[in-house]
């Protein structure tokens, strides 16, 4: 991510949309960004503020971004935010709102779960108890269990195909300028399961259509 951001982002003013407890916000801070973390969940923002007392975190009810100035941000980061947003209409409206926050040369980095994550086994995730995931169509619910946390309850996501994301971005007036599907590497100190041959995530770098 640092190399992707340094390649595409020119400037240091950012919004972390769907920041949760602020992990990705703090990550952007380490890269030198002046960043605002935003989320729809006050309880998540409370934890973010506790962990980062000097950071800026704002509540955006139902994702409404009217309180933010338009055309002033170099980067909008969405780290897995759209895995849980259910419809094309809702996704498009949010991406349109985020697009308007960007400077003319700004970019939006959208990290999403690939459809493959829901039908394979991983170092940190399991889907073996959800064979129904294999028949899920774009826009339908899928389930996955996180293995690196104590809470073993299934997480409910919305599967969204590459083609569906391409259509979403097009309708929102955004165009991918780069797409990354990172793989795990043999030399890394992790017990990869599928990660070395199948990418569990997709990173889209987007700019507004001129």
Task: Give the model's pLDDT for residue 64.
Answer: 80
Tokens read off for 71: 């055309």
Task: Give the model's pLDDT for residue 13.
Answer: 98
- pLDDT-based confidence at residue 173 (cuts at 50, 70, 90): very high
The domain 2-113+160-187+200-208 is classified under which CATH number: 3.40.50.150, 3.40.50.620, 3.30.450.40, 3.50.50.60? Answer: 3.40.50.150
pTM for the whole structure: 0.95
Average pLDDT, the chain: 96
Lowest mean pLDDT across 50-64, 168-182, 187-201: 50-64
- pLDDT-based confidence at residue 154 (cuts at 50, 70, 90): very high
Task: Give the model's pLDDT for residue 63.
Answer: 73
87 three-class SS: coil
186 three-class SS: coil
- Return the DSSP state at 156: E
Q: Can you list the alpha helix ranges (DSSP code H) found in the chain?
A: 2-8, 23-30, 42-51, 88-101, 162-172
Task: Give the model's pLDDT for residue 198.
Answer: 98
Contact 10, 205 (CB under 8 A): no
- Return the DSSP state at 132: G
């Amino acid at each position: 991510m640092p190399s992707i951001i340094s390649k595409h982002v020119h400037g240091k003013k950012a919004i972390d949309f769907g920041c949760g407890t602020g992990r990705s916000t703090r990550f952007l801070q380490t890269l030198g960004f002046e960043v605002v973390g935003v989320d729809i969940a006050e309880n998540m923002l409370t934890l973010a503020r506790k962990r980062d007392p000097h950071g800026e975190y704002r509540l955006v009810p139902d994702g409404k971004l009217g309180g933010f100035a338009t055309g002033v941000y170099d980067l909008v980061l969405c780290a897995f935010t759209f895995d849980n947003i259910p419809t094309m209409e809702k996704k498009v409206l949010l991406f349109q709102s985020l697009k308007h926050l960007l400077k003319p040369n700004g970019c939006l980095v959208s990290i999403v779960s690939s459809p493959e994550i829901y039908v394979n086994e991983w170092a940190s995730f399991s889907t073996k108890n959800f064979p129904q995931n294999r028949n899920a169509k774009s826009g339908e619910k899928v389930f996955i269990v996180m293995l690196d946390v104590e809470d073993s309850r299934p997480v409910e996501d919305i599967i969204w195909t590459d083609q569906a994301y391409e259509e979403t971005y097009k309708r929102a007036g955004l165009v991918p300028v780069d797409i990354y599907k990172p793989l795990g590497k043999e030399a890394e100190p992790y017990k990869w399961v599928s990660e070395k041959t199948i990418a569990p995530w997709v990173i889209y770098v987007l700019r507004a259509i001129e």
